[in-house]
Amino acid sequence: MNIQLMRIVEDTTVDGPGWRSSVYCAGCRHACPGCHNRETWSFTAGETVPVEDVLERLSQTEGNITFSGGDPMYQAEAFTELARRIVTELHRTVWCYTGFLYEEVLADPVMSRMLPYLEVLVDGPFVEEEKSLDLMFRGSRNQRLVDVQQSLEAGRVVEYEWDPFPKF
């Protein structure tokens, strides 16, 4: 199984809390005006890389993992396999950015298979009129940080609560 990969960015802090590696894929049909990753829209951009090779590269990094793009949900089968292996073999958490709403992902028989392996789904299209530089880990106010495991358990969307200053 392959992923159409744009790049892997190691040691980033912008795509989720803590130091992490972000896997940027190719392919997106949302075509959000103002998107800062327009070069990822083409489904033939980047290079075709086996999931095994992506996992091997991630195994040599530290921190948790984020899927972005493009939109990983357009390659849901491959990214589900990658997420499963990250969680079960590398014992790390996975965040995923998508232009789809959580409810759309949940209702789709292919995309929904990724949900058991995600900590957070940053959902919804980027809306330029809702853009804010004051938001953590998202670009526009309409986007949500969905706590996937709590949402699955509750049967409704539960937003992720991030505390940058946890009490010990």
Question: What is the model's pLDDT at position 166?
Answer: 67
Query: Does some domain include residue 43?
Result: yes
Q: Is 109 exposed, middle or buried (0-12, 13-18, 19+ CB in 10 A)?
A: exposed
Question: What is the model's pLDDT at position 15?
Answer: 93
**155 and 125 Cβ atoms separated by less than 8 Å:** no
**134 and 109 Cβ atoms separated by less than 8 Å:** no
Give me the sign of the Cα torsion angle 69, 74, 76, 79.
negative
Would you give the DSSP letter of residue 110? Answer: T
Contacts for 146-153: CB closer than 8 Å, 24+ residues apart: 146/102, 146/120, 146/121, 146/122, 147/119, 147/120, 148/102, 148/115, 148/118, 148/119, 148/120, 148/121, 149/118, 149/119, 151/102, 152/115, 152/116
Total domains in the fold of the chain: 1
HSE (CB half, 13 Å, CA atoms) of 65? 25
Query: Does some domain include residue 52?
Result: yes
Query: Does some domain include residue 164?
Result: no
pLDDT above 90 coverage of the chain, percent:
88
The DSSP secondary structure of 23-53, one letter per residue, reads: EEE---S---TT-TTGGG-STTSSEEEEHHH
Query: pLDDT tens, 59-70?
Result: 999 999 999 999
Query: Does some domain include residue 162?
Result: no
Nearest to 40 by CA among 70, 10, 66, 61: 70
pLDDT of residue 168 exceeding 70, the answer is no
Query: pLDDT tens, 103-141?
Result: 999 999 999 999 999 999 999 999 999 999 888 899 999
Range of the domain at 36: 2-154
Query: Does some domain include residue 137?
Result: yes
Query: Does some domain include residue 160?
Result: no
Tell me the CATH number at 26: 3.20.20.70
pLDDT of residue 26 exceeding 90, the answer is yes
Query: pLDDT tens, 42-63?
Result: 999 999 999 999 999 999 999 9
Q: Would you tell me the crossing angle of helices 76-85 and 51-59 to the nearest 10 degrees?
A: 40
pLDDT of residue 88 exceeding 70, the answer is yes
Query: Does some domain include residue 66?
Result: yes
Query: Does some domain include residue 86?
Result: yes
